[in-house]
Chains A and B, each alone.
Chain A
Amino acid sequence: MTLDQDRLGPVIALITSLAQGDLHPDLPVIDGDPELEAVVLGLQMLAEELAATRTAMSERTTELEALNNGLTRLSDLGNLLLSCDTNNEAYVVLGRAIRDMYGQLSGAVYIYGASRNIVEVVTSWGDEPVANSFAPADCWALRRGRAHQTSASGTEIACQHTSHGELRSAMCVPMLAKGEALGVLHLVSAPALGDRAFSELTQRLTVAAAEACALALASIKLREQLRNQSLRDPLTGLFNRRYADETLLREIGRAKRDASALSVVMVDLDHFKKLNDDFGHDAGDMALREVATVLAENLRTSDVVSRVGGEEFLLLLPGASAEAALGKVDVLREKIRALELFHRGRRLPPLMFSAGAAAYPANGITPDALLRSADKALYEAKHAGRDRSVLASA
């Protein structure tokens, strides 16, 4: 072995180790050879940088995999949300998706109540406690209109609704659509997770999930509005003829299947043309709205009240026999007659109506037949002097 081989042997061994992927090799001890010592130190520093780069790349790869996974789930969530027909469906979908995305986190979706002075939980998940409702002012995300995060170390201001004594990492993201806050997506970690709960990736995905949910909720709301507009009478807010026809067909099917009763009642205000002539159409419209209110407020939620003509209303009363239907109509008659209506300082005359009732299956087994029977009975009530109810003959 030559002198150079003796001298360089440890260095060659070191380089061989590095080449084999061992970035933390045992370093040879070299005394009295400053140049060689510098070479070994240089190699050591290169190995350290390589190891650091490898670690950083590994972490980055893990992060990118998580991002890819998250984006896939987010895309799935978006598609699912777009398929939701109701808000409740969307809440369930969102809750499950977020739980899948962040298994270690608990959370809840809060939506503004009608009065907008409170947000109420619509879905929640996980083991950590979350508030059932709170005032919007108790949430910094809702106050500021952007995501708010607090760490377990407690250096940030915590939302009041997340104050549970023990410090936890938490995140609130407002659900904004068309500039309006619909609610807030809230995530909270177990205390043991400390400040590691919300990585930058988690934060970005949470914001994206909240945006997707907000857009879906806004879309559902718009569809509900359009559906309502197509099924409601704009003057009274009651259902319209189209909805009544659809519902009657459905209710007949149910009555047939369950062998249950079903009655329909045609209601027509008496002397309504004269009311319009004497007091004007404004007064007529007001009278129609008041009658609609009485009808809607004094029937069960399972009953369906529709305005099907100018001053004509159709009542669908599932489960009600013809006699029970007439009893209900008598109550309505008294309440409507008792209305005291004024228009431009003038008192309107008491409102009266005629009604024709028909029952399934005695007076018809199809929507057309049943409505024809009720119409015929109504005609008879009018013909007999108005302000009365007539039951269709079998």
Chain B
Amino acid sequence: MAQEFTFDPIGPDGILKVRWAAGVVITEALARAALVEIAALTKGRSVPILADIRRIKSMSREGRDTFGGAGAVYTALALIASSPVTQMIANFFIGINRTTSPQRMFTDESKAIAWLQQHPA
């Protein structure tokens, strides 16, 4: 399951970057597995998260639901999308899930990082 997503080492900016692999369908099981690993990496603290979903195929409703209920995990969430499909997924996720933590879609990773830095851990 670890191949479906990977984490960049957390740098000085404190941002946790999750990279989803090409062609992945984010299911509930994958979402849960990712949240478990995020919790382990952050030791349960809320951190800014960058989720790179540029190459995924889709995200199931249960997967969206699982991530949607995990608002406490992040101080802010930036979804990096590129294609019309991944932009649709990102916008849909943001539109459906009402969390208190801010979440935005970006096509440019550097802009996403700049925005996330405004929401430190």
User: A and B bound?
Assistant: yes
- B85 contacts which of A37, A48, A49, A52 (Cβ < 8 Å)? A37
**Is the CB of B98 closer than 8 A to any CB of chain A?**
no
CB pair B83–A38 under 8 Å, yes or no, is: yes
Q: Are A34 and B92 in contact (CB under 8 A)?
A: no
User: Hey, what's the 0/1 contact readout for A203-233 against B, CB within 8 Å counting as 1?
Assistant: 0000000000000000000000000000000
Beta-carbon contacts of A42-53 to B below 8 Å, as 1s and 0s?
Answer: 100100110010
CB-CB under 8 A from B11, the residues of chain A are none
B84 A45 Cβ-Cβ under 8 A? no
CB-CB under 8 A for A49 and B84, given A41-B58, A41-B89:
no
Residues in B36-51 with C-beta less than 8 Å from chain A: none
Considering only CB atoms, which chain B residue lies closest to A37 in the complex?
A: B85
B87 proximal to A (CB < 8 A): yes
In this complex, what residue of B is CB-closest to A48? B61
For B23-64 the 0/1 string (1 means CB < 8 A from A) is 000000000000000000000000000000000001001001
**Min CB–CB distance A39 → chain B (angstroms):** 8
Q: Quick check: is A35 within 8 A (CB to CB) of the other chain? A: yes
Q: For the complex, would chain A's binding face be called helix, strand, loop or mixed by DSSP majority?
A: helix
- Which residues of chain B come closer than 8 Å to A38, judged between CB atoms? 83-85, 87-88
Question: How far is it, in angstroms, between the C-alpha of A49 and the C-alpha of B61 when the chains are bound?
Answer: 7
Chain B contact residues: over half helix, strand or loop, or mixed? helix
Q: Smallest CB-CB separation from B84: which chain A residue?
A: A38
Residues on B with beta carbons closer than 8 Å to the beta carbon of A34: 83-85
Residues of B within 8 A of A48 (CB): 61
CB distance from A114 to the nearest CB of B (A): 53
Chain A interface size, under 10 / 10 to 19 / 20 to 34 / 35 or more: 10 to 19
> Is the beta-carbon distance between A37 and B61 smaller than 8 angstroms?
no
Shortest beta-carbon distance from A17 to chain B in Å: 18
A49: chain B residues at CB < 8 Å are 61, 96
- Give the residue of B61, B64, B84 whose beta carbon is less than 8 angstroms from that of A35: B84
Closest Cβ–Cβ distance, residue B9 to chain A (whole Å): 32
Nearest-CB residue, chain A, relative to B93? A45
The smallest beta-carbon distance between B2 and chain A, in angstroms, is: 26
Please measure, in the bound complex, the distance between the C-alpha atom of A324 and the C-alpha atom of B92, giving whole angstroms: 96
Q: Please measure, in the bound complex, the distance between the C-alpha atom of A123 and the C-alpha atom of B104, giving whole angstroms.
A: 61
Residue of B nearest to A42 (CB): B88
Structural contact, B96 and A41, CB atoms closer than 8 A = no
Give A contacts to B, CB under 8 Å: 34-35, 37-39, 41-42, 45, 48-49, 52
Task: Give chain B's interface residues, CB within 8 Å of chain A.
Answer: 58, 61, 64, 83-85, 87-89, 92, 96
Sample (17) of A-B pairs whose CB atoms are under 8 Å apart:
A34-B83, A34-B84, A37-B84, A37-B85, A38-B83, A38-B85, A38-B88, A41-B58, A41-B85, A41-B88, A41-B89, A42-B92, A45-B64, A45-B88, A45-B92, A48-B61, A49-B96
12 extra A-B contacts, CB within 8 A, seeds A45-B89, A48-B61, A49-B61: A34-B83, A34-B84, A35-B84, A37-B84, A37-B85, A38-B85, A38-B87, A41-B85, A41-B89, A42-B88, A45-B64, A45-B92
